[in-house]
Amino acid sequence: MTAAGEGSAPGAGEPHSMPVHLRPAKPTDIPALVPLLVRLKRLNEEFDPLLRVRDDAEGQAREVLKTSIADPKAVVLAAEGVGADKDKVVGLVLAVIRERPFYSPPVEGVILEIYLLPLYRRHGVGEYLLKETTAALKAKGAAVVIAEFPSQNEIASRFYAKRGFRPIIVRQARSL
Amino acid sequence: MAQSASAPVDAGRASRRARRGDRAAARREGATEELGRRAVELSRFYAGKVETVPKVPVRSLRDFALWYTPGVAEVSRTIQADPDESFELTGRWNTIAIVTDGSRVLGLGDIGPEAALPVMEGKALLFKWLGGVDAVPLPIRTRSPDELIATVERLAPAFGGVNLEDIASPKCFGILEELQRRLPIPVWHDDQLGTAAATIAGLLNALTLTHRNVRETRTVLLGAGAANIATARLLLALGHDPRKLTLVDQKGVLHADRPDLDELELHNPWKFRIALKTNGGGRSGDLAAALEGADVLLAASTPDPNTVRGEHLRRMAPGPIVFALANPVPEIWPDAATAAGAAIVATGRSDFPNQVNNSLIFPAVFRGVLDARARSIPDEVVLAAARELARHAEDRGLSATHLLPTMEETEVFPHVAAAAADAAVAKGLARHRLTHDEYLERARVRMGRSARLVRALLRSRLTPKMPRARAVVPGGSS
C-alpha cells in the first residue's frame, strides 16, 4: 500500500488542540522515521537483554519502513507537528494485517510500533494515535486489534489496559 | 557589585590560592578524622543518643491505674469512637518517625539500615533539640519502594508525621508521593523538601539584593537529584518561567530531545516531567552553554571544587548568584566564585558565609504542622516556611554575606513554625486551628523546653558529663 488510511481518513477526527497531525507515511519520510524507530528499539533494550539493539539497526529500520510503506497489508503513519513544528515528523506508527487461520474473527490488525517524541506525549495524543491506527486497520479488514510490546513495559501495559486491551497470547523466551 | 567580566585572576594568585586551599583541605580532613574518632568514643560511652522519658508524674505504682489499666481502657474507647482523639490523648501529636532504608546515607552511599541508625538518631536529636519534636529512628530493611511504603503505612497510627531520610533518588520521589497520598499525616523527605526550602529562602533574598525578580530570572540548576528536582518544582510553583529554567546533569542540559528521555520516563518520571516542562530552558549542550547569560546557578551535584570553574561563571549575566551546595566540598570555592564575578555566593557549609542548611527548615516546619495537627504538608506549607525564613534574614539586614539566618539566630525558628502552621490552616489541613500568635507561642514553649530538659538532665547528672577524649569507660552510661 502507499496509504495507511484509505477510507479511514486519518486526521478527520483529530481534536482541534492536538499537538500532532497524523497522516500516511510516504517513502520520502523514511529519513525522518528511521531515528524514531531506532529510539523505540533502544527503549525496548531497557526491558530485556534479549532485546539488545543490533549495530545495523538503522539500516534495518530503513529496510523495514521501505517494505512496509509499500505493503498493502501494513499501516505506516507519520505524526507531524503542528504550528511552528509543521512538517517536522515527531512520531510513527507501524502496524500489519495478519490472517488468523484457526480463529474467528479471521483477520487481526497488529500494532507493532508506536513512538512519539517525548515533548509530544500526553495531551491525549496516544489515544488519538491508537484511534486512527485502529480505524486504518479496520478499513483493511481487521476485526481484532492486537498490540505487541515488551512484557516489562509497564507504561504500555497500563496504556492499553485502560483502553480495554487484555493479554491473550504470552511469548516467553530464553537464550540458546 | 562585581561584574562577570572582571579581570582574570593572574596565574600566581591562583596557584597561591590553590596551595592555601590544599593546606586548608588537609587541615579540614585531619579535623574530620579526629571528630570521627571522638564520635565513636562518645557513642560507645553514651550507648546511643536518644531515649524515652516519661512526661507524667509517677508518685507510686498506684498511678499506673490511671496511666495504664484499668483507667487507660476508657482512653482507648474514646479514641476508638474518634481516631483523631489519638492526637489529643496520646503523644502521637508530637511524635514522628524518621524512616530510611539506608540506601543513600550522607556521603556514605548505600550502607544498609543498621549503619544508618546512628545518623537517624542524630537527626532525632536535632528534631528534639531544635524543634521539640519526639522523633523515633526507624531504619527499615527493604530495598523495595512498595514494601517501604506498605511498612510506613502500617506504622502510621503511632505517628503524627513522617520524615523520610537518606533514601536514594529516584525512588525517594515515588515513595514520598505515594505516602503523601495515602497517609492522613504530614510526610516529608528532607533531602528534597528541606534542602529545596532552604535554597529557595536564600535565593529569594539573593534576588532581592541583586534587584532581580523570580519571574524574569534565568536559572541553571546543576545536578538533577532529590534536592534540585524538588527545587525546580518549587521554583515553577513560585512563578519562575519554565522557559528560563535549565537543569544540567552529567549528560548535559536536560531537554526534551535528549535520547535518554524514554528511559527517564520509565525510571524517573519526575525528572522526565521537569525535562518536558522546561525543555532545557531553550538550551542544549553542556554547563557552559546553559550558563550563558544566566542570573542564577544552583549547584547541588558533585562534591569537588572543580565541578564549576571560573570560566563557567564568567559566561553568566553581570553580578550572578552562585549557590554551590555540595557537601562536604562545594562545586567551586567561594573565593574562586567571587573572583569570577559572583555577586553572591552560598554554600552548604557553616565555615563560609550564607550556609544553606536544611536544619533552618525541618525542625520548625514539623513544629508548625504538628502544632496544627496537619493532615499533610503541601508545597504551599514548604514555600510559606521558606518565605518566612527569608523575611527574617531581611529584617536583620540583608547583605551579600547575610542571606539567611544562621543556626545561632534561634528566635527565627518559632516564626517559621507559625508560618508553616498558618499555611496548613489556610489550606484547610489543620485539625487544630489556632491563631498565628497562639502557634508562635506554642512553638516558642515547645522549642525552648528541649534545651531546658537537656540542661536539667545534665545538671542533675542523669546525663553523665561528657568524658574527656580517650578517657572513656566502656559499657554505656549506667
Nearest CA-CA distance, residue A142 and chain B, Å:
30
What is residue A10's predicted lDDT score, i.e. its pLDDT? 40
In the block, residue with C-alpha cell 531515649:
B51
Q: How many residues does chain B have?
A: 478
Assigned CATH topology for domain B211-342: Rossmann fold (3.40.50)
- Which residues of chain B have a CB within 8 Å of the CB of A43? 262-263, 266
pLDDT tens by residue, B316-366: 999 999 999 998 899 999 999 999 999 999 999 999 999 999 999 999 999
Pick from A40, A46, A117: which is nearest to B266 by CB? A46
pLDDT tens by residue, B56-66: 999 999 999 99
Contact B276 A46 (CB under 8 A): no
pLDDT tens by residue, B3-47: 333 334 445 555 565 566 667 667 767 787 889 999 999 999 999
Asked if the model's pLDDT at residue B50 lies above 90, the reply is: yes
Q: How many CB pairs under 8 A join A and B?
A: 32
What is residue A12's predicted lDDT score, i.e. its pLDDT? 42
Residue of B nearest to A46 (CA): B263
Residue of B nearest to A152 (CA): B266
pLDDT tens by residue, B144-170: 999 999 999 999 999 999 999 999 999
What is residue B237's predicted lDDT score, i.e. its pLDDT? 96
- How many Å apart are CA B227 and CA B190, to the nearest integer? 9
Residues 6+ apart with CB under 8 A from B321: B203, B206, B207, B210, B212, B295, B296, B297, B342, B343, B344
Q: Is B68 a catalytic residue?
A: yes
Q: Is B211-342 in the same CATH topology as B38-190?
A: yes
What is residue B469's predicted lDDT score, i.e. its pLDDT? 82
- Substitution target in B243, B260, B262 with the highest count of A β-carbons within 10 Å is B262
- Which residues of chain A have a CB within 8 Å of the CB of B272? 118
Contact A118 B261 (CB under 8 A): yes
Q: Are strands B95-100 and A144-147 parallel, antiparallel or unpaired?
A: unpaired
Nearest CA-CA distance, residue A147 and chain B, Å:
19
Contact B256 A117 (CB under 8 A): yes
Residue of A nearest to B266 (CA): A155
Contact B279 A119 (CB under 8 A): yes
Residues 6+ apart with CB under 8 A from B301: B222, B223, B225, B249, B307, B326, B331
Pick from A42, A119, A153: which is nearest to B276 by CB? A119
pLDDT tens by residue, B167-214: 999 999 999 999 999 999 999 999 999 999 999 999 999 999 999 999
- Which residues of chain B have a CB within 8 Å of the CB of A121? 265, 276
- Substitution target in A48, A115, A116, A121 with the highest count of B β-carbons within 10 Å is A121
Strand partners, B322: B297, B345
Residue of A nearest to B269 (CA): A155
Contact B262 A119 (CB under 8 A): no
- Which residues of chain B have a CB within 8 Å of the CB of A155? 265-266
Contact B272 A46 (CB under 8 A): no
Is residue A97 a contact partner of residue A107, using CB atoms and an 8 Å limit?
yes
Question: What is the average per-residue pLDDT within A30-52?
Answer: 95
pLDDT tens by residue, B64-123: 999 999 999 999 999 999 999 999 999 999 999 999 999 999 878 899 999 999 999 999
Residue type, A80: E
Contact A43 B266 (CB under 8 A): yes
Contact A119 B263 (CB under 8 A): no
- How many Å apart are CA B6 and CA B13, to the nearest integer? 15
Residue in B49, B68, B171, B465 annotated catalytic: B68
Pick from A39, A153, A154: which is nearest to B259 by CB? A39
Contact B275 A118 (CB under 8 A): yes
The A-side interface with B (CB below 8 A) comprises 39-40, 42-43, 46, 117-119, 121, 153-155
What ipTM score was computed for the predicted complex, to two decimals? 0.78
Class of the domain covering B38-190: alpha beta
Residue of A nearest to B267 (CA): A46
Contact B265 A155 (CB under 8 A): yes
The B-side interface with A (CB below 8 A) comprises 256-257, 259, 261-263, 265-267, 272, 275-276, 279
What is residue B83's predicted lDDT score, i.e. its pLDDT? 96
Neighbours of B418 (CB within 10 A): 29
Q: Where does B71-194 have alpha helices with state H?
A: 72-81, 86-89, 113-131, 145-155, 171-182
pLDDT tens by residue, B376-408: 999 999 999 999 999 999 988 999 999 999 999
Question: What is the average per-residue pLDDT within B243-271?
Answer: 95
Pick from B256, B262, B267: which is nearest to A119 by CB? B256
- Which residues of chain B have a CB within 8 Å of the CB of A118? 256-257, 261-262, 265, 272, 275-276
- Which residues of chain B have a CB within 8 Å of the CB of A40? 262
Helix-, strand-, coil-residue percentages of chain B, each rounded to 5: 50, 10, 40
Contact B276 A118 (CB under 8 A): yes
Asked if the model's pLDDT at residue A129 lies above 80, the reply is: yes
Domains and CATH numbers, chain A: 20-162 (3.40.630.30)
What is residue B16's predicted lDDT score, i.e. its pLDDT? 60
**Average model confidence (pLDDT) across chain A:** 89
- Which residues of chain A have a CB within 8 Å of the CB of B279? 119
Pick from B256, B257, B263: which is nearest to A43 by CB? B263
HEC secondary structure over chain A = CCCCCCCCCCCCCCCCCCCEEEEECCHHHHHHHHHHHHHHHHHHHCCCHHHCCCCCHHHHHHHHHHHHHHCCCEEEEEEEECHHHECCEEEEEEEEEEECCCCCCCEEEEEEEEEECHHHCCCCHHHHHHHHHHHHHHHCCCCEEEECCCCCCHHHHHHHHHCCCCCCCCCCCCCC
- How many Å apart are CA B475 and CA B478, to the nearest integer? 8
- pLDDT category of residue A85 using cuts at 50, 70 and 90: confident
Would you kindly state where each structural domain of chain B is located, as residue ranges?
38-190, 211-342
Asked if the model's pLDDT at residue B474 lies above 70, the reply is: no
Q: For residue B301, what are the CA distances in angstroms to A67, A136, B360? A: 48, 49, 21
Nearest CA-CA distance, residue B89 and chain A, Å:
44
Pick from B257, B266, B275: which is nearest to A155 by CB? B266
Is residue B140 a contact partner of residue B97, using CB atoms and an 8 Å limit?
no
Nearest CA-CA distance, residue B282 and chain A, Å:
13
Q: Could you give the strand order of the β-sheet that contains B296-299, starting from the edge strand earlier in sequence? A: B252-253, B245-249, B219-222, B296-299, B321-324, B344-347
Residue in B123, B128, B171, B271 annotated catalytic: B123
What is residue B12's predicted lDDT score, i.e. its pLDDT? 57
